[in-house]
Amino acid sequence: MSENLEISISKNDIRYFVEENHTFPSVSLGVFVKSGSRYETNKLGIAHFIEHMVFKETKNRSAFEISKAIEGLGGEINAYTSSEYSLFYVKLLGKDIEVGFDVLSDILTNPTFNKDLLEKEREVILEEIYEFYDDPQDICQTEALRSLWGDSPLSRNPLGTEESVRSITYEDIVSYFEGFFVKGNIFISAVGDIDQVKAEKLVEKYFKDFRIGENGASTETIPYKFLEINYPKETAQLHLAITLKGEKSFTHESYLHSIFTVALGGNMSSRLFQKLREEHGLVYTVYAYPVRLIDTGGTVIYASTLPKYENVAREIILEELSNIREKGLKDEEFVNAKNYLLGSMILGLESTSSRMQKNGVSGLMQGYIRTIDSIIKEIESIQKDEFDSYLKGLLDDTYGVVRVGKIDG
């Protein structure tokens, strides 16, 4: 039995994948576009700007009519933009899913980019940026990417900056949209109460007019920088991030790395939670997580504490990293972290929405979709000696630091 699932190509050359499951009454339908902040040049935030604008008006519907068409059936419609892709999605009862195909195809083929609406939405996006930078935790996590990769496409905030968003013109929007929102750059994922035959007919019916074109998204692999970044902000706490090497998406090493981040700071029984919060009472929030991109990756350790406790908190984090590098994990820690990774992955795929996103990201970014069973078997096959050997290559003396808050000196 193949470890990969078969991706379909419609008569009009649209790549799509259907996971049929009639135990769900719903269908989650997503259109993934290889459009994100890492592909932008000087117009930072333009992919996110377009994500907003396609919902404002099409040749056939107003913004109210777009939302009413889905919400009037009890469904949901939304979108988001990341570094590597944008997702436009609906969730509806299976009997209503044709409306979802209709609306998604409409916003992605017929947006007007009305100039008056564009100016109004520019102000909405600026408010979103201001709100983001009011939150020191959000700032710390964004600056962690800059610590890893410097001022490069990989560290850009998908929202853009106030300056860049103010500079984006109607012509910029149209040019980017026509270059990226093309057949060779999209992938459709559907999961739930829908069958292959129906999905094929709906893809061919509603996406027949999608623009012809190839993948316009090019990438450049960026080396690690491991910068030390200070971001002054009036806050009660000091927000601290330690950045380390990581692994790119869809690799065996990414599963080894995920076991490491779980054991280090992925839950309440992790090393850092137990040390910093339970044993020393230095923090309320502490965690570690992987950053995954198609060609690289990183590790971010985040903690917030009073400024007077910053040095001791940092010392404990670095000490635990050194201990793990030299001694590995205890057998029980390794087993618990691996089991947590397996269990959380399976539980995270209980909904049509999560499955749609898992299939869509994989189909768009790597061109194939692995079965859940094959991924589970691969993780289960990881033994502690392999894991300990991996850690020695991952953990060294290179790391970056981000500090957000009242910074002396």
Query: Rounded CA gap, 65 and 59, in Å?
Result: 12
Query: Rounded CA gap, 277 and 218, in Å?
Result: 43
pLDDT tier at 172 (50, 70, 90 boundaries)? very high
pLDDT, mean of residues 351-374: 96
Span 6-35, pLDDT tens digits: 899 999 899 999 999 999 999 999 999 999
Q: What is the model's pLDDT at position 217?
A: 67
pLDDT tier at 42 (50, 70, 90 boundaries)? confident
- At 219, the amino acid letter reads T
Span 178-231, pLDDT tens digits: 999 999 999 999 999 999 999 999 999 999 989 887 766 667 889 999 999 999
Q: Which residue has the higher pLDDT, 209 or 373?
A: 373
Worst-scoring range by mean pLDDT, 1-5, 44-48, 87-91, 214-218? 214-218
Tell me how far CA of residue 332 lies from CA of 50, 249, 343, 379, 384, in angstroms: 48, 27, 16, 16, 10
Q: What is the model's pLDDT at position 168?
A: 98
pLDDT tier at 3 (50, 70, 90 boundaries)? confident
Pairing of strands 15-20, 400-405: unpaired
Domains of the chain in sequence order: 4-206 (3.30.830.10), 228-405 (3.30.830.10)
pLDDT tier at 309 (50, 70, 90 boundaries)? very high
What secondary structure letter does DSSP report for 274? I
Query: Rounded CA gap, 127 and 123, in Å?
Result: 6
Q: What is the model's pLDDT at position 232?
A: 97
Per-chain mean pLDDT for the chain: 96
Span 229-260, pLDDT tens digits: 999 999 999 999 999 999 999 999 999 999 99
What tokens does 263 get? 């054991």
339 pLDDT exceeds 70?
yes
Alpha helices in 34-114 (DSSP H): 46-53, 63-71, 97-109
pLDDT, mean of residues 320-344: 96
The pTM assigned to this predicted structure is 0.95
The share of the chain scoring above pLDDT 90, in percent, equals 94
Q: SS3 sequence, 150-218?
A: CCCHHHCCCCCCHHHHHHCCHHHHHHHHHHHCCHHHEEEEEEECCCHHHHHHHHHHHCCCCCCCCCCCC
60 pLDDT exceeds 80?
yes
pLDDT, mean of residues 146-173: 97
Worst-scoring range by mean pLDDT, 237-246, 322-331, 400-409? 400-409
2 pLDDT exceeds 80?
no
pLDDT, mean of residues 269-293: 98
383 pLDDT exceeds 80?
yes
